[in-house]
C-alpha cells in the first residue's frame, strides 16, 4: 500500500475530517493504484472517497480546512458521496464502483462496498462507452504527438494505463477475475481475446524505463499502429457481448 509518509498524511487527514464532520463522517476509503500495489511514485495519486451521511453546501464549506493541507501535499481532492448514493449510483458508475470495490483500503468507518451489486449490462454498456471514448481521444492526440518520438512514447504510455484499467471489467464480463496490477490485467486480456500481447508489454517497458530514445521514429510509428489495432480488437469483443434475459453476459 502507501509508504510511511503517506500513512502519516492519511492519519492527519482523518483526524481533521473527524474534527470537521463529527458523526456525519461515514467512511474514508483509499482506492486505485495506491490501494492495489500498482502505485508509481510521482506519477500516481492517492485517490480517496469520502462518504458523509448527508452533504449540504455547509458540509462542503467545512471541508475547506482539511482539504487545504491535503492539496498542499500535492494530492487530488477526494470524491464525496452520501452513504445512500453509494448504493443508489451503482447503475450509473459501474466501472468506477467496480474498480473501487476491487482495489480499496478502508481507512476509516464502515466498508461502503460490502454487498454492493453491479449489473452486467450496465457494466458492459459503460465499458464499451469508455473504451470507444478513449480510442477517439487517442486518435485525436496522435495528430500532434506524431511530430516526435518522445511525445508519441508519452501518449502510448499514458493511455495504456487508462486502457488497462478498462480491461479489468472486460475480463469480468467474460467471467474472469481480473488481476490487481495493470500489466497483469493487460496480459490476461491479451490471452483471453487472443491479442498480440507483446505490443502491450513493449509499451509497459517504455513506461517503466522512461526512455523515449529506446525507440526509433519508424519503430515508434509501427508500435503505435499495432497498439491502436489491439485496442480496437478489445472494443470489438465487448461490442459482441450480449446480456441474456437472466442478466448474464454471453458472446455472439
Whichever domain contains 167, its CATH number is: 1.20.120
Model confidence at 248: pLDDT above 60: no
State the Cα–Cα distance between residues 169 and 178, nearest whole angstrom.
8
Parent domain of 226: 120-251
Q: Is-contact 48 2, C-beta < 8 A?
A: no
Q: Considering only 24-38, 65-79, 213-227, 234-248, which range has the smallest mean pLDDT?
A: 234-248
**Same domain flag for 42 and 161:** no
**Same domain flag for 73 and 150:** no
Q: pLDDT digit string (tens) for 173-226?
A: 998 989 988 999 999 999 999 999 999 999 999 988 866 557 889 999 999 999
Query: Could you tell me if residue 246 is inside a domain?
Result: yes
- The rounded mean pLDDT for the chain is 88
Q: pLDDT digit string (tens) for 113-136?
A: 888 888 899 999 999 999 999 999
Question: How would you classify the pairing of strands 47-52 and 79-82?
Answer: parallel
Model confidence at 44: pLDDT above 90: no
Model confidence at 247: pLDDT above 70: no
Query: Could you tell me if residue 69 is inside a domain?
Result: yes
Which of 59, 88, 109 is at the close of a domain? 109
Please list the residues that pair with 51 across neighbouring strands: 27, 81
Which is higher by pLDDT, 100 or 4?
100
Q: Residue 43: pLDDT band by 50, 70, 90 thresholds?
A: very low
**Same domain flag for 82 and 126:** no
**Same domain flag for 79 and 153:** no
CATH number at residue 76: 3.30.460.10
Model confidence at 251: pLDDT above 60: no
Query: Could you tell me if residue 59 is inside a domain?
Result: yes
**Same domain flag for 127 and 247:** yes
State the Cα–Cα distance between residues 117 and 201, nearest whole angstrom.
33
According to the model, what pLDDT value does residue 211 have?
A: 61
Count of C-beta atoms within a 10 Å radius of residue 48: 24
Which is higher by pLDDT, 147 or 42?
147
Which of 75, 109, 143 is at the close of a domain? 109
Model confidence at 6: pLDDT above 90: no
- In the chain, what percentage of residues exceed pLDDT 70? 88
Query: Could you tell me if residue 115 is inside a domain?
Result: no
According to the model, what pLDDT value does residue 212 have?
A: 54
**Same domain flag for 61 and 151:** no
The whole model's pTM is what? 0.70
Query: Could you tell me if residue 114 is inside a domain?
Result: no
Which of 109, 128, 150 is at the close of a domain? 109
According to the model, what pLDDT value does residue 5 have?
A: 61
**Same domain flag for 243 and 137:** yes
**Same domain flag for 247 and 124:** yes
According to the model, what pLDDT value does residue 46 have?
A: 85
The residue count for the chain = 252
Tally of domains within the chain: 2
Query: Could you tell me if residue 154 is inside a domain?
Result: yes
Q: pLDDT digit string (tens) for 65-100?
A: 999 989 988 889 999 999 999 988 888 999 888 878
State the Cα–Cα distance between residues 160 and 207, nearest whole angstrom.
9
**Same domain flag for 237 and 126:** yes
Amino acid at each position: 500500500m502507501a509508504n510511511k509518509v503517506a500513512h502519516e498524511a492519511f492519519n492527519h487527514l482523518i483526524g481533521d475530517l473527524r474534527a470537521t464532520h463529527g458523526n456525519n463522517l461515514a467512511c474514508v476509503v483509499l482506492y486505485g493504484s495506491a490501494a492495489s500495489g500498482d502505485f508509481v511514485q510521482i506519477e500516481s495519486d492517492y485517490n480517496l472517497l469520502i462518504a458523509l451521511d448527508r452533504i449540504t453546501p455547509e458540509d462542503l464549506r467545512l471541508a475547506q480546512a482539511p482539504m487545504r493541507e491535503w492539496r498542499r501535499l500535492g494530492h487530488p481532492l477526494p470524491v464525496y458521496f452520501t452513504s445512500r448514493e453509494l448504493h443508489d449510483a451503482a447503475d450509473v458508475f459501474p466501472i468506477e464502483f467496480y474498480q473501487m470495490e476491487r482495489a480499496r483500503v478502508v481507512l476509516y468507518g464502515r466498508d461502503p462496498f460490502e454487498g454492493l451489486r453491479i449489473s452486467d449490462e450496465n457494466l458492459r454498456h459503460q465499458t464499451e462507452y469508455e473504451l470507444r471514448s478513449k480510442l477517439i481521444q487517442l486518435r485525436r492526440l496522435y495528430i500532434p504527438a506524431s511530430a516526435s518520438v518522445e511525445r508519441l512514447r508519452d501518449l502510448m504510455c499514458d493511455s495504456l494505463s487508462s486502457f488497462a484499467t478498462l480491461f479489468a471489467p472486460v475480463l469480468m464480463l467474460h467471467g474472469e477475475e481480473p488481476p490487481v496490477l495493470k500489466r497483469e490485467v493487460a496480459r490476461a486480456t491479451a490471452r483471453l481475446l487472443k491479442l498480440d500481447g507483446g505490443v502491450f508489454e513493449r509499451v509497459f517497458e517504455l513506461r517503466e524505463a522512461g526512455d523515449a530514445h529506446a525507440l526509433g521514429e519508424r519503430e515508434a510509428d509501427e508500435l503505435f499502429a499495432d497498439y491502436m489495432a489491439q485496442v480496437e480488437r478489445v472494443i470489438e469483443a465487448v461490442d459482441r457481448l450480449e446480456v441474456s434475459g437472466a442478466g448474464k453476459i454471453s458472446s455472439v
